[in-house]
Amino acid sequence: MNPEEIYNTLVNKFGESVLSFDTELVGDTSIHIASTAIADVCQFLAETDTLLFDSLMCLSGLDLSTKDEEFSVVYHLHSIRHRHNVVLKASVPKTDAHLPTVSHIWKTADWHEREAYDLYGIFFEGHTDLRRILLPDDWEGYPLRKDYQEPDFYRGMRVPY
Amino acid sequence: MESTQPTESKIIELKPFTDEMIVNMGPQHPSTHGVLRLELRLDGEIVREAIPHIGYLHRCFEKHSENLSYPQIIPFTDRMDYVAAMNQNWGFCLAVEKLLEADETKDFAVPERAEYLRVLICELNRIASHLLSFGTYGMDIGAFTPFLYAFRDRERLLLLFEKVCGARLTYNYIRIGGVSEIIPMEPGSVFEQNFLEEIEEFLDYFEPKIDEYNDLLTANSIFAERTMGVAVMTAEMALSYGATGPNLRGSGVDWDLRRDEPYSIYDRFDFNVPVSKDIPELGAVLGDCWSRYKVRMDEMKESVKIVRQILAEGLPDGPVMADLKAVRPPKGEIYFRSEAPRGELGFYIVSDGTPKPVRVKGRSPCFSALSAMQELSRGLMVADIIAIIGSIDIVMGEVDR
């Protein structure tokens, strides 16, 4: 199935939770999903026989600019059985970045979500072990946010160079 | 006389478990292939839980990328998987090129000669990477000789890479739109002839060596005992954890991006994709450490096959660099993955039309494969942990980025 057919299938199934189909940008097309429904949509994509997205290739946090009021979480899915791809996007407000986890559907999401939490401060509800993964446990702030200011010192070591 | 009445029988509880002991394996340990710390919760010698702690080699690749132009990011990709840096360069360049190609206002194509050089170099790099994996895996398990053999052969490859780009480890050879032109390798020049001859000499020398290595290590009974039937990763588990490349094929999933989603010019070459299966007469179980290791050994032969086809055809004439004044992809985003020696290397790039990307995410194959570690090691012996780490073949530079 191509992304447009997948979009239509999702609209039929989930109605208003599927927000839009983004084709105006160059490159990959993506389907916007309401953040509250993302886990249900992923479950449906992973388990329906005609879709069967058995692998989550990549899960990334995204902060486009300081002016934006939302973070995005981008899901790149692939089905080895049917050989098709789809990109899902869910937006969460920067002030309250919470959305449901998908780590019970694909286990690889466990570490990818921890990374998104570590670098963007996006909280994945229902994740069993949400703690920092790449940075030290006592690091302050979320470095990949566009408005991030690095601390002057970390444990007595100068940070900016 | 007082009779000693038997008092009521005492029940002695036999606790099958001893107290839990926590052992830190790493971060500085030769068999963890870099700086990986494993928190082992042990019951005697049985591992109840092995929790990986990563990030010791985190060098902020993604943050750096936001402040650099596209060509400036390529040297950073070298430092991801530093034993297969050509493939990392290529993965990143492919993603940027896909974005440039998607721009209909500009005419952009990578020259034929560059494509051939890329496949040639990257397949040699794959051999070098698998050689390192084979050598160090043997050493982890207690066989020192294969390590020396592997490094002897890898050295010849590194000298070839040095000839073509001047570096042995961090190449920065593959550029956006082609390959680097620093070394004058004009079509038909003596330099080119010598270079290709040297590769051919290496292949003639190396091809029989693979069988020798199979005799030396693959069929070795101690090695087989240590790896066969240990840490079986089923196909479902491998897919769910996002294990790719040799780890996925070691679990019996027939999937290789070079064949199934051919990029560059891989559709022109004839090669097999080695996939593991159960071998009951040997004792190998589908998805065990030995299966994953064996896929790498077989892949080296296939890489030799591809390089031989290029040598037989000869490099086409023409430029090695596309006519590209500035790398300025249009506003848009792309996720592109390629088959690196350790699995699928993906780059997610978001561009806003300026010379610098808004977001670069490197999806590293080792990161996903290592996350399966905790489940794989549950209930095994401490010594098996070493066998698992070696068999999923991680490079910490890529895990931590």
Confidence of residue B320 (pLDDT cuts 50, 70, 90): confident
Contact A60 B361 (CB under 8 A): yes
Q: What is the DSSP string of B8-32?
A: PPPPPP--S----EEEEE-SB-GGG
DSSP string, B49-116: EEEEE--TT---HHHHHTTS-HHHHHHHHHTTSTTSHHHHHHHHHHHHHHHHHH-TTS-----HHHHH
The answer on pLDDT for A127 being more than 80 is yes
Q: Quick one: tokens of B101?
A: 């190609």
Using the Cβ of B262 and the Cβ atoms of chain A, whether some distance falls under 8 Å is answered with no
Quick one: CA dihedral A20, A22, A23, A24, positive or negative? positive
Chain A residues with beta carbon closer than 8 angstroms to that of B375: 107
Amino acid at site B33: H
Residue of B nearest to A58 (CA): B363
d(CA B219, CA B282): 9
In order, the DSSP letters of B326-355 are ---PPSEEEEEEEEETTEEEEEEEEE-SSS
**Is A5's pLDDT higher than 90?**
no
Backbone φ and ψ of A77, nearest 5°: -110, 150
Beta-carbon contacts of residue B139 (< 8 Å; ≥ 6 apart): B146, B147
Q: Cα A112 to the chain's mean position, in Å? A: 9
Contact B226, B321 (CB under 8 A): no
Query: What letter does residue B321 receive in the DSSP assignment?
Result: B
Q: What is the pLDDT of residue B13?
A: 65
**What's the whole-number average pLDDT of chain B?**
87
pLDDT tens-digit map of B58-76: 888 998 899 899 999 999 9
Locate the chain A residue with the closest alpha carbon to B329.
A26
Phi, psi of B43 (to 5 degrees): -120, 95
H or E element at residue B263: none
What does each C-alpha distance from B307 to B131, B145, B177, B280, B285 come to in angstroms? 16, 27, 22, 33, 31
Between chain A and chain B, the number of residue pairs with CB atoms below 8 A apart is: 95
A107 to chain B: which residues are within 8 Å by CB?
Answer: 237, 240-242, 371-372, 375
pLDDT confidence of residue A47: 87
Name the residue of chain A whose CA is nearest to B241's CA: A108
What's the one-letter identity of residue A97?
Answer: A
Instruction: Tell me how far apart the alpha carbons of residues A120 and B257 are, in angstroms, rounded to a whole number.
Output: 31
Q: Residue range A141-156: average pLDDT?
A: 88
Section A46-60 average pLDDT = 87
Please indicate whether, in this complex, the C-beta atoms of A83 and B55 are within 8 angstroms of each other. Answer: no
Contacting residues of B for A133, CB less than 8 Å apart:
54-55
User: Once rounded to an integer, what is the mean pLDDT over residues B172-177?
Assistant: 88
Which residue in the set B346, B371, B401 is minimally distant from A57, CB to CB?
A: B346
Kind and range of the H or E run holding B383: helix B382-392
Task: Name the residue among A27, A112, A135 with its Cβ closest to that of B58.
Answer: A135
What's the pLDDT band for B304 if we cut at 50, 70, 90? very high
Residues above pLDDT 90, as percent of chain B: 29
* B contacts of A128 (beta carbons < 8 Å): none
Q: Is the pLDDT score of B35 beyond 90?
A: no
Q: How far is CA A138 from CA B54, B56, B144, B188, B248, in A?
A: 15, 14, 40, 59, 35
d(CA B322, CA B111): 6
| Whether the predicted pLDDT of B348 surpasses 70 | yes
Lowest mean pLDDT: which of A53-57, B188-192, B214-218? B188-192
Per-residue pLDDT reduced to its tens digit, B349-366: 999 888 899 999 999 999
Contact between chains at A76 and B330 (C-beta distance less than 8 A): no
**Predicted confidence (pLDDT) per residue in A78-96, tens digit:** 988 888 889 999 999 988 8
Whole-angstrom distance, CA of residue B330 vs CA of residue A25: 9
Highest mean pLDDT among B23-27, B146-150, B187-191, B328-332: B146-150
Q: What pLDDT is attached to residue B4?
A: 57
CB contact under 8 A, B242 and A143: no
**Sign of the alpha-carbon torsion through A104, A110, A116, A118:** positive
pLDDT, average across residues B136-159: 90
Q: Is the pLDDT reported for residue B1 higher than 60? A: no
Q: How many CB atoms lie within 10 A of CB B179?
A: 28
Of the pLDDT bands very low, low, confident and very high (cuts 50, 70, 90), residue B6 is: low
pLDDT band at residue B286, thresholds of 50, 70 and 90? confident
pLDDT exceeds cutoff 70 at B119: yes
Q: Across the beta sheet with A26-27, what order do the strands follow? A: A26-27, B332-340, B343-351, B357-363
The structure's pTM equals: 0.89
Residue B396 CB burial class (10 angstroms; 0-12, 13-18, ≥19): buried
- Sign of the dihedral defined by the CA atoms of residues B341, B342, B343, B344, in that order: negative
Count of beta carbons in the 10 Å neighbourhood of residue B353: 12
- ipTM of this complex prediction, to 2 decimal places: 0.91
pLDDT at B9 over 80: no
**Cα pseudo-dihedral B103, B104, B106, B111, rounded to 10:** 80
CA-CA distance, A101 to B191, in Å (whole number)? 56
Question: Which residues 6+ apart lie within 8 Å of B173 measured at CB?
Answer: B86, B89, B121, B161, B164, B165, B167, B179, B180
What pLDDT, in 10s, does the model give residues A10-24?
888 888 888 888 877
Rounded (10°) angle between helices B145-165 and B190-213:
170
- Is a pLDDT exceeding 70 seen at residue B330? yes
Q: Which of B184, B117, B183, B124 is nearest to B156 (CA)?
A: B124
What's the CA gap between B29 and B36, in Å, rounded?
8
Q: Which of A26, A30, A111 sits opposite B371 (nearest CB)?
A: A111
Q: CB B352 to CB A64 under 8 A?
A: yes
CB contact under 8 A, B350 and A65: no
Among A108, A135, A143, beta carbon nearest to B242: A108
Q: Is B346 on the interface with A (CB under 8 A)?
A: yes
The alpha-carbon gap from B166 to the nearest alpha carbon of chain A, in Å, equals: 29
